[in-house]
Structure 1
């Protein structure tokens, strides 16, 4: 009789203990454990994150980190913390949180536009992915990479075509660079390469010329006409005489790319720089900015005309007045000179 009572007591205690354990396990895994009011939040876990790093990332978003830790440990996640950008939804339990952090790495949209320097590009990209500007700049400037892919110091901006791209947030600097090289090669289709050849230009020269077109006009519908003008000059052996190249030369010479120059002076035209197209013939050795795709395609699909000169149209701001000869150009130029003097723009 006593043995039966003991066995029944053991069974009873076991059931109670099992129930408590099951309840604790259920609570650990399946009780909602988020602490934010929005419908969703994003957690960014750095590469090679330690447990302490993970805790720092998650504490602002979970109600009870200790219960999360317990569940994550039981599921083996703490031995394999994964870097990336993860979405967690309001009301998620620990089981759902761990599953999301284990396999839900989401990409980010990385966008960059017309940066003038490789340093600007590195800073812009670093604000959108994990890699910092120092590591990105080192990857962009890597001489082995540049030499192997046919780039140099002057045209190292060329592989980066302004657009929006999907990347994982934890992409490395080298990973970003190499992906952009693939995008560059994909951009230069056989059709585009053939059009460049018909113009007597290499892809590097097309981008350098497109950068001038981009700087000359923000009006996409005018870019093919401006491109045609510069191609006419190249074909006839004329100097490009593009003011944006002089402005770039001034900035590069001074090392100050933040300065704003609204007026090019006659003395500026004497600056001895490979980018000064008032003194140097042909296309500059590299782009003076990162041209939009619209500017690149404007060069490849330029308007056929007989214009060799242009000046800003002050009656239709953003656009230009075009001329086939110098006398006509000088007449067009008078309206611009009167306007700029009236504005008292000295520089």
Structure 2
């Protein structure tokens, strides 16, 4: 009787153990495969370096990703997803532990839109671009000056910036500077070199020369509908072997974007088109496609002078002779003086009002 009772107790104990084990196993398995184990709403993880999941817990919490720490570590060990790869990851919605951990473990990054702005000089371009990627401004700057890269793409350093066509591009955050530049050059060839190469040849210029002229138009012109007219003016001056006398090239030469002084026009610089004939050696910024097409398809007219319109519209007044140009220039100068007088008067009134209120 005693032996029978002991055997019965052993069986009951084993049964309880097995049932408990199965319940725990099934519960863990259910949580392991549950699609609500990890949850987040539009969280973005930037992981500069690869590492261990166990070292990532705090960062995950700080990004608003919800999960059970012990379960996540248990799942990482069980599924052998103990490490993660560097990258940019978008976590949005609900995930099972396996889907979440494998995403990080395999390095299944989410691409993002890189925004390349128009009209940037070299320093502005490298800074604004690097802020969107893992690489630094210094690394991008070095890549743009790398002789082997330039030879590979058959381009001179001073022409490279002009080929950084403004647009939005889908890329990966961990792309290297070399990968980024190679992609940008492919995009330029697709959008400009192939479709417009023949047109440039018809005009007797290279694509790079078209981009140089486009970069001046980009800086000079605020309104798209005026670009071809300005292009026509520059072409008229080039065809008559006149100096371009484009103010943007002077601003580029002195390294400042401000109202120019008489002394600025006399600066000895290879980009100062008040001193040199023809186009400057390279582009002064990265122009939009609309500026490039304007350079290649100039409006036909006889204008050789222009000055900003004295109405604050951002347009220009075009003339065919110097006497008319002088007259329009005086109107522009008078408008500037009037604007300055109005600003000074408003500042004085504000100061008087502030004094009286005390």
**TM-score, normalisation: structure 2:** 0.84
Q: Does residue 128 of structure 1 match 2:124?
A: no
Aligned residue for 1:41, secondary structure, equals strand
Relative distance call for 1:41 and 1:160 in structure 2 (3 A) is same
Structure with higher Rg: it is 2
Q: Does residue 261 of structure 1 match 2:258?
A: yes
**TM-score, normalisation: structure 1:** 0.87
Q: Is the CA contact 2:311–2:335 (under 8 Å) kept in the aligned structure 1?
A: no
Aligned residue for 1:247, secondary structure, equals helix
Matches of 1:143 and 1:53, distance apart in 2: 40
Partner residue in 2 for 1:55: 57
Matches of 2:46 and 2:263, distance apart in 1: 52
Q: Is the CA contact 1:228–1:303 (under 8 Å) kept in the aligned structure 2?
A: yes
Q: Does residue 308 of structure 1 match 2:311?
A: no
Matches of 1:216 and 1:115, distance apart in 2: 10
Instruction: Give the root-mean-square deviation of aligned CA atoms.
Output: 2.5
Q: Is the CA contact 1:87–1:100 (under 8 Å) kept in the aligned structure 2?
A: no
Partner residue in 2 for 1:256: none
Q: Does residue 298 of structure 1 match 2:281?
A: no
Q: Is the CA contact 1:30–1:95 (under 8 Å) kept in the aligned structure 2?
A: no
How many Å apart are 1:137 and its aligned residue?
1.8
Q: How many residues align?
A: 334
Matches of 1:140 and 1:186, distance apart in 2: 20
Specify which of 29, 39, 42 is matched with residue 40 of structure 1: 42
Partner residue in 1 for 2:202: 198
Matches of 1:283 and 1:117, distance apart in 2: 17
Q: Does residue 65 of structure 1 match 2:88?
A: no
Q: Is the CA contact 2:54–2:73 (under 8 Å) kept in the aligned structure 1?
A: no
How many Å apart are 1:138 and its aligned residue?
1.8
Matches of 2:320 and 2:292, distance apart in 1: 24
How many Å apart are 1:183 and its aligned residue?
1.0
Partner residue in 1 for 2:274: 278
Q: Please state which structure has a larger fraction of its residues in helix.
A: 2
Partner residue in 1 for 2:169: 165
> Which is worse superposed, 90-99 or 188-197?
90-99
Relative distance call for 1:307 and 1:53 in structure 2 (3 A) is farther
Gaps of 5+ in 2: 342-358
Give runs of aligned pairs for residues 1-347 of structure 1, distance below 5 A. Answer: 1=4, 6-7=10-11, 9-30=13-34, 32-34=36-38, 39-51=41-53, 54-60=56-62, 61-79=65-83, 81-101=84-104, 102=106, 104-251=108-255, 259-262=256-259, 264-315=260-311, 317-343=313-339
Aligned residue for 2:91, secondary structure, equals strand
Matches of 2:175 and 2:227, distance apart in 1: 35
Q: Is the CA contact 1:45–1:57 (under 8 Å) kept in the aligned structure 2?
A: no
How many Å apart are 1:200 and its aligned residue?
1.6
Q: Is the CA contact 2:112–2:170 (under 8 Å) kept in the aligned structure 1?
A: yes
Gaps of 5+ in 1: 252-258
How many Å apart are 1:239 and its aligned residue?
0.5
Relative distance call for 1:135 and 1:50 in structure 2 (3 A) is farther
How many Å apart are 1:288 and its aligned residue?
1.2
> Which is worse superposed, 306-315 or 64-73?
64-73
Q: Is the CA contact 1:44–1:57 (under 8 Å) kept in the aligned structure 2?
A: no
